[in-house]
Amino acid sequence: MSGQRVVAAEELATDALAYLAGDLEHLGRFLALAGIGPSELRTAAAEPGFLIGVLEFYMGHESLLLAFCEARGHRPTEFAAARYALDAEGRQEAGLESDGDF
């Protein structure tokens, strides 16, 4: 997996998390689903897989996804691509990725 794709995926997920922080209703739901409190958000964000969870949350909430994309100039399809890039990176680090095929 290209390092540039992973960096771009991390940037998208981090921007999405920052946007989410400005929407208290969705943020509360995200925190509840993640099983963390607001004070734990910064620490949790550094955990492997957390950014994948952010992307998946958006993909499960179409109105939030579309609002973010409109506000930040992204396409909704970028979320699936970013999620794949982050998951593939994690699989490579764990030695689970063989040849990049599906």
Taking the C-alpha atoms of residue 27 and residue 9, their distance in angstroms, rounded to an integer, is 20
pLDDT of residue 24: 93
pLDDT of residue 88: 82
Taking the C-alpha atoms of residue 101 and residue 39, their distance in angstroms, rounded to an integer, is 39
pTM of the model: 0.84
| Helix (H/G/I), strand (E/B), else coil: 61 | coil
pLDDT in tens, the chain (102 residues): 578 999 999 999 999 999 999 999 999 999 999 999 999 999 998 887 999 999 999 999 999 999 999 999 999 999 999 999 999 876 666 565 544 443
Asked if 57 and 30 touch (Cβ cutoff 8 Å), the reply is yes
pLDDT of residue 101: 43
